[in-house]
Structure 1
Amino acid sequence: MTKGERAGADVAERAATGRAARDRLPIDGHGVFRPPADRADPVQIVFDQEADRLPDLLALRHRRMRASPLAFYRGAAAVMAADLAGQPDSGLRTQLCGDAHLFNFGLFASPERRLVFDLNDFDETCPGPFEWDLKRLLASVALAGRANGFGRRVRAGILSGAAQRYRTAMIRFAGEGELDVWYARADVDDLVTRLAKSRRRRVTRVGDKARARTTLQAYRKLTTVIDGRRRIVADPPLVVPVADLLPTVDRIALEDRIRTMLTGYRSTLAEDRRHLFDAFRFVDMARKVVGVGSVGTRCWIILLTARDDTDPLLLQVKEAGVSVLAGPDPVPDPDGEGHRVVAGQRLMQATGDIFLGWQRVPQLDGRTRDFYVRQLRDWKGSVAIDELTPRGLRTYAELCAWTLARAHARAGDRIAIAGYLGRRGRFDTALTEFAESYADQSERDHAAFRAATKS
C-alpha cells in the first residue's frame, strides 16, 4: 500500500491489509533459519564486497572481523542481506536502517541540545520488509548474550522481551496520530527519570560521557599546531593526514576536489544551515578508519574553523556505496547513494545532525563516488555491550526495539504492521527462535572466515 493509498484508506482497511499479509508469510514462518542447500558462500560475499575498497586497509578489516562471531556479524551485513532476500517475507515495507545491530544505536545531541537515543548508522538504508531490521537486531542480541556468557534460557528471555517491545510499541504507534508518531523520541533525560535508581546511575554516567564528547574535545585530541598552523595529528592506520598519504601535487589536487565537493554539499543543507556553514573555512583533512563494516571505504575528516582556532567544526565525509539490501540489480538513486543515506536517515531518525548532507565527487580514484557528510562528534556516545548484565542487556535491547519500531512507524504503514503482528506472543516466540538459529549460522560463518583469512 503506497503512501497515497494509505491516506485514502481507513484504519480498519489498513489493519486488514496487515492481517492478510499472514497468508503470504504466517507468523510461525519467521522461526528457525534454515540455510538452503545452494546458500552463497558467506566468505566470498565478504570478499566480493571488498573489491572496490582501499586495499591497504583490508588486513585491518579482516583482523577486526576475525575477533569474534559478533565482530564478524557486524562486518557481514551483506551476508545476512543475501540470506533474508532468499527467505519469504511479509511484504509489509518500510524504510529500513539496513544494519540495525546493537552497535548501530547510540546517543547524540539534538539541534535543541537535548541528549537523545536513536539509530546512528544508515549506510545500508533502503526500503524493504519491516522484519529484516528486527531480525538483524535480535540476532545481534543473541550473539551479544553468548559473548557475555549468558545461558540459552536467559538469552531467550532477553530476545522475547525485545521482540515483544517492538510489537507492543508498534501497536501503540498504530493508535496514535501522525504528528504524535513524528514527534516521538527517546530523550535520555526523560528516560533517566523513569528508571530505577540502580539503572539510573549507569545511564547517567553514559550520558555524561556522551556530553563530554564534543567538537572541541575532538579538536583538542585530533589536532595540534605544526609550524604555526593547526593540523590533524597522525594516528596510523586509524587517522592519516592527507599530507602523509600523498605527494604535494596529488595532495593539493585532492584538497581542491574536496573543497569543490564541500561547495556542492552546501546546497543540500537547509538555508539557515548554509548561512552557518559559510562562516567556516577549510584548514586540513585526513583519512579516517571507522567501524567494522565500513573499514576500507573512503572516509575523510575535514577540519574547518570560523572566528579563530578556538571555533572549530569537524566534519566526516564518508563514502556511500550501493546498499547491501538493494539486491543484484539495484535501482540507483538519481541523486546518488549519498542522497539515499541522508534521505533514509532524515526519515527514520527522530532528530538529526544539522550538518547532514551529501554530494558526488567525479573521477575520484578512477570513477564518480558518492559521499555523505555529518559532524564527526557532537555528544556522541554508546553503551559498552560487553559490560552489560542480563538485566542490562534486556533493558538496552528493549530500548533499541522501541526505537526501531518508532522509526518504522514513521516511514511505513504502522497500522498494517501492527495488524500483522497481532496482540498475542507468537511473533515474539518466532523471532526468538530465528535469532538463536541465525546466531548459530553466524558462528559457523565466522569459523569459515577465520579459516579463509588465517594467513
Structure 2
Amino acid sequence: MISRQSILSTQLSLTDGVAPSPVKTLDKHIKMTLNPYQFYRGSAQLFYADLATGILTLPDMLLAGPGKTIIMGDCHLANFGFLTEEGSHGDQVIFSPNDFDDACVGYGIWDLARFLISLSLAGDLGRGLLTGQYLTDEIEITDDLKSIQEDDVKAACKTFLSAYRDALKRILKDEDVRYQVLKKFDHDHVLNACCRKAAKRAAGGDDFYTKSQLAKSTVFEDGKLRFTENPFKYKRLHEKDYLALETTFRPYLDDEILDIVARLGAGIGANHAKRYYFLVGPAELHDIHDLSLCHIVEVKQQCPASPTLAFPDVSPVNTLNPAHLAANCQRQLQRRPDLLLDEVVWRKKQWLVRSRHHARLSVKPESLILQKKHPGEAFCQYANACGIALALAHSRGDRRSVRFEHFMVELLPEHDKALTDACLEYSEQVIQDHALLCDIIRLSGHISPHKSATEPTVHNCPTRGTCLPY
C-alpha cells in the first residue's frame, strides 16, 4: 500500500514541481506548515486526488451530468471578497469569488464540499490559536477573544447550503437573478465595514490616492510613476528581462508600460508560480491626480487547474491550455469580468494576463473566527454571503437554461447531511496531512527540531486588521 507521505509528496509535486523533502523545500510548503487551514489552501490537488481514489466520498447523485457547471475549483472561505467589476476599469464594488486559478468545468458539489471543509478547518484554526497550538501574526491574540465552536461550524455549513439553494430557487423563478451581485450589507453585518472600506479605495473613493492597491504599490517622483521599492514584494528586473517582457506583453495592454517588476511571495496555492506586475498608464502624467488613469496588470505563469489533474475527462473544455481555460472560466463566473483578461504563450509556458483590482479586499479568517462577542453569528453571516455569491457564479456557467439549477435544488436537500458529514470527517484527514507535512519539513531543517508537528513556523506579516488588501 502506498504511504500517505508518498501520496502527499506526489500530489504537491504535481503542481509545485518540487515535493517537500530534506533536500529542497519551497517557500510555499513552509507557508503551508502554519496551520491545517493554510495547508488546505495550498493543496487543492490533494483534495481532488482523494476524491478520485475514494478517500473522500461525496453523494453520487450529485455527480451526474446536470450537476456540471463552471466551478471555482479552489473554493474556500478566503477565496471570496470585495473587488471592482470589470477589474481596474470599473468602480462598482461587489462581494464575489475572487480566485479563478483553478476554475474549470466540474461538478458544483466539488465547490460546495471544498467550502464546507474550509469552514471546519476555520473552526480548528480558531480553537488552535486560542490554545497556542497554532500561531499567527495576522491579529493580536488577547484573552477577551472567543472562537467559533463545533456547533457554530455546523450552523455555518447549514447556512451556507441553504443560502446557496435559495439563491438557485430565485433564479428558477427569474433567470435575470443570475446577473445580480452582492454589493450592500446591513449595518450589523460582518461584511459591512469591509464593503465600505473597499468602496473608498475604488477610483473616485475618498481613500483612492492613499489606500488603494495602486496607490500603496507606487510612488510618483520627478514626474514619473513607478513601483515602490519593497524587496519583500517586488524585485527589480535586469534590463534584458525587462525588455523581453515589455516587447512580448505590450500588445495585450491598453496603454503604455510605465514600470515592470517581478512579484514575490504572493498567495498560497500558486505561491511558487512566476508572476510580474506591469504598471500601465499614459506616458505623460502631470501629477498624482492622474493616478486614476493608471492600473496594475498581473502576468502570471498559469498551472493546470487542480481538478483537471485528478479528473482529466470531465469535459473537453478542460483540455485548453491552463491560461486559456482560466481566462474563459473567469469570464463566465463573473457578471462583468475584467476588461483586461487574456492569455499568452511565452517561453513555452502559458501566462495569464489580467488587471489587478484597485479595491480588492477580503476578510482575514483569523478576524472572522476570533471575536470578542458572538463569533458564531459573524461566521454564519459570512457563510450565507458566500453561499449566495457562489450560487450566482455557478448559475452563469450556463446562461441558456436552468438545468443546473433544477438539478441542484431538487437533489441538495436530500443529501445535505451526508455531504456535510463527509466534509467534516475529511477535515480530520487534512489536519493529519498538515502534521505530516510539518514532520517532513522539520526533517529538512526548515522547522526547528524542538517544534512539534502542531507548532508550525510563523512568518511575520506587516499587515494587520480585519480587511486584508491583496
Q: TM-score interval w.r.t. the shorter chain?
A: 0.7 to 0.9
Corresponding residue of 2:39 = 72
In structure 1, the residue corresponding to 2:259 is in which secondary structure? strand
Moved more, 400-409 or 166-175: 166-175
Match of 2:423 among 429, 432, 435: 435
Q: Find out whether 1:387 has 2:375 as its counterpart.
A: no
> 1:356 Cα shift?
2.2
What is the CA–CA distance in structure 2 between the aligned matches of 1:386 and 1:160, rounded to whole Å? 21
What is the CA–CA distance in structure 1 between the aligned matches of 2:215 and 2:107, rounded to whole Å? 44
1:349-368 per-position Cα deviation (integer Å, ceiling 9, x unaligned): 1222222222221x2xxxx1
Corresponding residue of 2:234 = 239
- Name structure 2 gaps, 5 residues minimum: 128-147, 203-207, 369-374, 446-470
Q: Find out whether 1:93 has 2:75 as its counterpart.
A: no
What is the CA–CA distance in structure 2 between the aligned matches of 1:318 and 1:424, rounded to whole Å? 37
1:207-286 maps to which residues of 2 (within 5 A)?
207-214=195-202, 216=209, 217-224=212-219, 230-242=225-237, 251-266=238-253, 277-278=254-255, 280-286=256-262
> 1:376 Cα shift?
2.5
What is the CA–CA distance in structure 2 between the aligned matches of 1:380 and 1:212, rounded to whole Å? 11
* Cα pair distance change 1:255/1:425, threshold 3 Å: same
Corresponding residue of 2:394 = 408
Identity %, equivalent residues: 24
Q: In 2, are the aligned partners of 1:95 and 1:127 still within 8 Å (CA)?
A: yes
* Cα pair distance change 1:61/1:168, threshold 3 Å: same
In structure 1, the residue corresponding to 2:345 is in which secondary structure? strand
What is the CA–CA distance in structure 2 between the aligned matches of 1:416 and 1:114, rounded to whole Å? 28
Matched pairs, number? 385
Corresponding residue of 1:342 = 327
Q: In 1, are the aligned partners of 2:18 and 2:26 still within 8 Å (CA)?
A: no
In structure 2, the residue corresponding to 1:370 is in which secondary structure? strand
What is the CA–CA distance in structure 2 between the aligned matches of 1:231 and 1:38, rounded to whole Å? 47
In structure 1, the residue corresponding to 2:230 is in which secondary structure? coil
Q: Aligned partner of 1:184: which letter?
A: Q
Q: Find out whether 1:378 has 2:358 as its counterpart.
A: yes
> 1:229 Cα shift?
5.6
Q: Find out whether 1:300 has 2:276 as its counterpart.
A: yes
Q: In 2, are the aligned partners of 1:408 and 1:414 still within 8 Å (CA)?
A: no
In structure 2, the residue corresponding to 1:357 is in which secondary structure? strand
* Cα pair distance change 1:314/1:432, threshold 3 Å: same
1:43-54 maps to which residues of 2 (within 5 A)?
43-51=9-17
Q: Aligned partner of 1:305: which letter?
A: G
Corresponding residue of 1:184 = 180
What is the CA–CA distance in structure 2 between the aligned matches of 1:394 and 1:182, rounded to whole Å? 23
What is the CA–CA distance in structure 1 between the aligned matches of 2:345 and 2:319, rounded to whole Å? 11
Match of 2:110 among 132, 147, 161: 132
Q: In 1, are the aligned partners of 2:33 and 2:39 still within 8 Å (CA)?
A: yes
Q: Find out whether 1:288 has 2:231 as its counterpart.
A: no
What is the CA–CA distance in structure 1 between the aligned matches of 2:412 and 2:322, rounded to whole Å? 39
Match of 1:352 among 315, 334, 337: 337
Q: In 2, are the aligned partners of 1:315 and 1:375 still within 8 Å (CA)?
A: yes
What is the CA–CA distance in structure 2 between the aligned matches of 1:166 and 1:223, rounded to whole Å? 39
In structure 2, the residue corresponding to 1:67 is in which secondary structure? coil
> 1:345 Cα shift?
0.5
> 1:39 Cα shift?
10
* Cα pair distance change 1:255/1:300, threshold 3 Å: same
TM-score between both structures, scaled by the size of structure 2: 0.74
Q: In 1, are the aligned partners of 2:28 and 2:268 still within 8 Å (CA)?
A: yes
* Cα pair distance change 1:294/1:213, threshold 3 Å: farther
* Cα pair distance change 1:358/1:58, threshold 3 Å: farther
What is the CA–CA distance in structure 2 between the aligned matches of 1:45 and 1:317, rounded to whole Å? 25
Moved more, 101-110 or 321-330: 321-330
> 1:38 Cα shift?
8.5
Q: Find out whether 1:419 has 2:400 as its counterpart.
A: no
Match of 2:8 among 42, 61, 67: 42
* Cα pair distance change 1:425/1:285, threshold 3 Å: same
What is the CA–CA distance in structure 2 between the aligned matches of 1:52 and 1:213, rounded to whole Å? 38
Over aligned residue pairs, what C-alpha RMSD do you find? 3.0
More helix by share: 1
1:132-151 per-position Cα deviation (integer Å, ceiling 9, x unaligned): 01101111111112222332
* Cα pair distance change 1:316/1:430, threshold 3 Å: same
What is the CA–CA distance in structure 2 between the aligned matches of 1:50 and 1:138, rounded to whole Å? 25
Q: Aligned partner of 1:236: which letter?
A: P
Corresponding residue of 1:122 = 100
1:202-240 per-position Cα deviation (integer Å, ceiling 9, x unaligned): 533212322344575434433346888644234334322
In structure 1, the residue corresponding to 2:123 is in which secondary structure? helix
1:159-214 per-position Cα deviation (integer Å, ceiling 9, x unaligned): 1121122222223323323xx0442221x23xx2xx3x422xx5332123223445
Q: Aligned partner of 1:380: which letter?
A: R
* Cα pair distance change 1:80/1:414, threshold 3 Å: farther
* Cα pair distance change 1:424/1:286, threshold 3 Å: closer
- Name structure 1 gaps, 5 residues minimum: 1-35, 243-250, 267-276
Q: Aligned partner of 2:36: which letter?
A: P
Match of 1:61 among 16, 25, 28: 28
> 1:302 Cα shift?
1.1
In structure 2, the residue corresponding to 1:148 is in which secondary structure? helix
